[in-house]
Amino acid sequence: MEYQMSNNTRSEIFKHEMKISKGDRSSIKNQNPCIIWFTGLSGSGKSTVADILEQKLSTLNKHTYLLDGDNLRHTLNSDLGFSNEDRDENIRRIGHLGHLMVDAGLIVIAAFISPFKKQRVETRALFEKNEFIEVFLNTPIEVCEERDPKGLYKKARSGLIKEFTGIDSAYEKPDAAEITMDGSKHSPEELSKIIINYLKNNNII
């Protein structure tokens, strides 16, 4: 007999209470779970610093996972484009994915342009106090454009890419990020050390 799903599925969905809590999971891992949310222009150094940071945390025997924008565009969010609506949906999905990982007791590192304040405020609201650590790489656009590791600025300037953040689509800077750094004044290694010190000083690691 084939099972027929009701159209009113929401009333049939119940949240299951888990016997193992986030506290139990983090205690096993000997760390305070959180999400370290990198934001900044393309070319600001987000992915590079995030990768070095994860390596450093690994040497400290911390349990981590790095969520990278390009990687997720190939998998979970491969159906999304780059309209403002799709960018919002991209960050919404990533925020909920990160929330599940933090609930698993992990230190999650997320590297996304996430250009709009509303996106970041709504994502922060998913997490408990002190679990969302916003890292703003405030690298000048001139430096980002000079680096242009993917050739995206060149394509945007020539009109091949529309609504490119920093060129013809706005980037809204954070008002009160936990950590703000200029990626043109420090090496990625130095930037990662600043974040490690923050995590230590706030008893996260």
> Which residues carry out catalysis?
114
Distance of CA 24 to the CA centre of its chain: 24
CA dihedral 43, 48, 54, 58 (to 10 degrees): 180
User: Do residues 132 and 123 make contact, with C-beta atoms less than 8 angstroms apart?
Assistant: yes
- Cβ atoms of 135 and 39 closer than 8 Å: yes
Residue closest to 134 by CA, chosen among 173, 177, 91: 177
Residue 5 to residues 1, 8, 11, 12: CA-CA distances in angstroms?
13, 8, 12, 10
CA–CA separation, 114 vs 120, rounded Å?
Answer: 7
